[in-house]
Copies of this chain bind each other. A is one copy, B any other.
């Protein structure tokens, strides 16, 4: 590719009109059959070519991203690397083939159900065109070429990508590179398009040809889109990642053993990228009589950093002001500029009894460089907190391992969060086979799904069973020959080495 052809796009795009959105969905729908019929191996190779193209434009993309998001170059380089790694990881998922969850039951006249079992063969098929709403805080990894785009394309679904208003030029540039790579690799035209403007996203989500939606953002925004998806004449699955406080519990024993270290790591985690992570540890529970409040009170906090954009900064300052004004909240540490533009980090403090008395005001996400330290005397009160939690993306425990309350605390937290951490920090969501990024509402609108890791591909698939079909009319993955050589469940038994 020639960089000059891409550079030409770097003007702020105008909102996509309703007519344009319809035309774009025409194209997505027209590409769906050919993309679904493209072999998994070929789809994987195409995703790898997209990754290569993005890597080859990294300097260019990161320069635009830094201008638009105020994130550091170091952070943005890491995020882009993660994004292209993710595309390549899905190529591996496609090649391995377990994601199809193939099940083959041969006919059995003696099936003990009381009636003969027919020949039944089940596979997952792509849902069709989907709309993905990009996030503000991950201009690469949860945006144009991010996780949902990767998993939807991998699944065999065309993608209409609603760009986030916080980084429109980067979205246009990334979209152009992705589309050039798809075109060069031979993917069908219309497979992937970036659209702009709030209204355009709603139009797309309401279009009957769109078969699923995904979103990363705020609770009100995500709930509004969730409601649209469910109130359509034909409701569609909607995978919204909305909000999370990510409570972190430090036991007395851990505070005694490693209080200074925990305090330092906590500050590093909650201030990372100016606190603009959905997994920011927003609330830290520590013993009142431990060294941690004292260490945090005298810690030197990072310098002020501009937030992603003005709207996010204003939202942050509003929530911070409300928290500061709460009668049970004091300021444990802050820079001189904690309410300025740009704001410096703030550590607030309250007690566990105050939190339990007014969770609505105190147990809330404050998107930006603020965290709330909650002190306790009775460690058992942590169980009361865990029982009352809303759904979370993550919940973290720092402990020594021998504390009597740990089994019960972990058991309760497993009911409330999608990922539990032990003696680590929730920021930095690794892209792996076992990752789970998604928890009970309001953390997500669909706790059965993940937006990170290889399991994410299943959100854009649905099962179809073929009964009594001749080989010539079966998808090849369902034939006895298994030419694609993937793991399958045959007559109830998992067969991994075909």
Q: Report the Cα distance A234→B441, complex, angstroms.
A: 6
A462-473 interface bits toward B, Cβ cutoff 8 Å, 1 = contact, 0 = none: 111111111011
A428 interface residue, CB < 8 Å from B?
Answer: yes
Given contacts A122-B435, A463-B448, A465-B418, contact A82 B113 (CB under 8 A): yes
A350 interface residue, CB < 8 Å from B?
Answer: no
Residue of B nearest to A432 (CB): B105
A456-498 interface bits toward B, Cβ cutoff 8 Å, 1 = contact, 0 = none: 0010011111111110110000000000000101011010100
A226 interface residue, CB < 8 Å from B?
Answer: yes
A237 CB → nearest B CB, Å: 7
A291 interface residue, CB < 8 Å from B?
Answer: no
Contact A494 B98 (CB under 8 A): yes
What is the number of residues of chain A that contact chain B, defined by CB distance less than 8 Å? 90
Given contacts A78-B114, A105-B432, A435-B122, contact A424 B463 (CB under 8 A): no
Residues on the B chain within 8 Å of A401, using CB: 470, 472-473
A119-137 interface bits toward B, Cβ cutoff 8 Å, 1 = contact, 0 = none: 0111001011000000000
A406-418 interface bits toward B, Cβ cutoff 8 Å, 1 = contact, 0 = none: 1100110011011
Residues on the B chain within 8 Å of A441, using CB: 234-236
A421 interface residue, CB < 8 Å from B?
Answer: yes
Going nearest first, the 4 A-B pairs with the smallest beta carbon separation are: A436-B465, A103-B434, A81-B114, A122-B434
Having A92-B492, A127-B447, A454-B492, one finds 13 other A-B pairs with CB under 8 Å, namely A82-B113, A85-B113, A86-B113, A117-B432, A120-B432, A120-B435, A128-B415, A418-B462, A419-B466, A420-B464, A420-B469, A433-B491, A494-B494
